[in-house]
């Protein structure tokens, strides 16, 4: 089905409840705009080539839309020997489209940094983690504060393999992210940690699906969001344990820190468990900034802005404490610290 043949989803549709399609579309919803490719720069030991993406039979509107805007794709093949791959994405045009496809074997780390002043960016990332592989993955969204971002990710993790997924979202004015991970074979696992920092009127909507399709699979999801000014963060975690996925272990937790009275944060963990012999847990909590912590820091000579930044840093850095991949966690922590220092100096 093509984009123009699809029905525009209403706000009653679960995926588009908090970010209507018309608000994330780059122009009028009945049009497919002229788009330029996101500039891709890759550093590290891997093979990559530009190709044409295959047309897939998808019924999900954002994936179909991105594919029809531009059919260019970057194929990246990683034979892991412990190396780190840096992928820098620059969105500098009015409307930007990028598609990265990863085929991963062995042990490796992937660090992606998205930046640029483009008005609108559509990004689709697909990946396959081959059997007996350990992949660390870090994604930093540092787009200009006036940019819109529509991002989709689709990952398949195979037998005896793990994906450690870390993300720091600090860029863009309006962001819609849809991340879906399939644990397709026995002893596959996902450890996912997402940190969001909202300021001004920033809107950040994360939808994350984790599908346990077979027995003996494990997943963990933690999302921490710090929201200041009039920003709004939404985190939705859809967890499915299929009827043939006994002995699976899954958990998801959402924490929100509200820095102002006008800030908003929604946390929606969802579980669909169709097997009996499983462990599945979820939780969510929201709270304002601790006045006693602020008083303690200010009494030691820190300004209000410095005190708040220090509390936010500690709260968001804790998101990545579960990641065993040090390259991913250190990259995300460093990017966060630099961003907060720039905010204080602004």
pLDDT in tens, 212-253: 999 999 999 999 999 999 999 999 999 999 999 999 999 999
Q: Evaluate if residue 60 carries a pLDDT over 90.
A: yes
pLDDT of residue 55: 64
What residues contact residue 342 under an 8 Å CB cut-off, 6+ apart?
A: none
Residue 334 lies in a domain: no
Residue 141 pairs in a beta bridge with 114, 169
pLDDT band for 58, please (50, 70, 90 cuts).
confident
Percentage of the chain beyond pLDDT 70 is 99
User: How do residues 95-109 score in pLDDT, each as one tens digit?
Assistant: 999 999 999 999 999
DSSP 318: G
Residue 313 lies in a domain: no
**CA 44, CA 85: separation in Å to the nearest integer?**
5
pLDDT of residue 208: 97
Residue 326 lies in a domain: no
Could you give the 3-state DSSP secondary structure of residue 248?
Answer: coil
User: How do residues 34-43 score in pLDDT, each as one tens digit?
Assistant: 999 999 999 9
User: Within a 10 A sphere around the Cβ of 199, how many other Cβ atoms?
Assistant: 20
Percentage of the chain beyond pLDDT 90 is 89
pTM of the complete model beyond 0.75: yes
Average pLDDT, the chain: 95
Residue 153 lies in a domain: yes
Residue 306 lies in a domain: no
Distances (CA, A) of 174 to 24, 203, 205: 7, 5, 8
Q: Evaluate if residue 68 carries a pLDDT over 70.
A: yes
pLDDT band for 345, please (50, 70, 90 cuts).
low
Residue 62 lies in a domain: yes
Instruction: Give the chain's domain count.
Output: 1
Tell me which residue of 119, 114, 99 sits closest to 48, measured CA to CA.
99
DSSP 18: S
Whether the CB-CB separation of 115 and 171 falls below 8 Å is answered with yes
Residue 332 lies in a domain: no
Q: Evaluate if residue 324 carries a pLDDT over 80.
A: yes
Tell me which residue of 284, 146, 287 sits closest to 221, measured CA to CA.
284
* Residue reference for tokens 């990004």: 123
pLDDT of residue 225: 98
Q: Evaluate if residue 150 carries a pLDDT over 70.
A: yes
Whether the CB-CB separation of 80 and 54 falls below 8 Å is answered with no
Residue 176 lies in a domain: yes
Give Cα 14 distance to the centre of its chain: 18
Token digits for 285?
Answer: 């909590």
- Mean pLDDT value across residues 84-91: 98
pLDDT band for 346, please (50, 70, 90 cuts).
low
Whether the CB-CB separation of 96 and 38 falls below 8 Å is answered with yes
pLDDT of residue 305: 87
Domain that holds residue 200: 3-291
**CA 308, CA 52: separation in Å to the nearest integer?**
47
């Amino acid at each position: 089905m093509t984009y123009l043949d699809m029905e525009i989803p209403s706000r009653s549709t679960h995926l588009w409840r908090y970010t209507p399609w018309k608000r994330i579309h780059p122009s009028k919803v009945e049009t497919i705009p002229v788009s330029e490719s996101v500039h891709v720069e890759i550093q590290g030991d891997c093979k990559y080539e530009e190709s044409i993406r295959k047309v897939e039979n998808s019924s999900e509107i954002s994936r179909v839309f991105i594919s029809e805007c531009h059919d260019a794709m970057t194929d990246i093949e990683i034979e892991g020997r412990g190396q780190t791959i840096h992928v820098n994405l620059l969105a500098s045009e009015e409307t930007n489209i990028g598609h990265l496809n990863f085929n991963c074997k062995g042990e490796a780390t992937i660090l992606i940094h998205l930046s640029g002043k483009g008005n609108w960016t559509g990004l689709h990332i697909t990946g396959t983690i081959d059997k007996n592989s350990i992949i660390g993955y870090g994604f930093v969204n540092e787009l200009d504060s006036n940019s819109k971002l529509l991002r989709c990710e689709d990952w398949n993790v195979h037998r005896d393999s793990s994906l450690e997924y870390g993300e720091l979202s600090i860029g863009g004015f309006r962001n819609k992210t849809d991340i879906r991970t399939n644990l397709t074979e026995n002893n596959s696992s996902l450890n996912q940690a997402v940190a969001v920092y909202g300021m001004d009127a920033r809107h950040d909507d994360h939808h994350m699906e984790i599908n346990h399709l077979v027995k003996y699979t494990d997943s963990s999801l933690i999302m921490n969001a710090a929201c200041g000014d009039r920003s709004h963060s939404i985190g939705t975690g859809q967890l499915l344990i299929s009827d043939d996925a006994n002995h699976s272990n899954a958990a998801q937790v959402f924490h929100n820190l509200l820095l102002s009275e006008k800030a908003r944060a929604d946390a929606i963990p969802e579980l669909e468990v169709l097997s009996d012999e499983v462990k599945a847990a979820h939780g969510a909590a929201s709270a304002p900034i601790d006045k006693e912590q602020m008083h303690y820091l200010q009494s030691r000579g820190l300004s209000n802005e410095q005190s708040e930044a220090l509390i936010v840093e500690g709260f968001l850095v804790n998101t990545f404490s579960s990641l065993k991949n040090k390259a991913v966690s250190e990259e995300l922590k460093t990017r966060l610290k630099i961003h907060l220092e720039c905010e204080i100096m602004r």
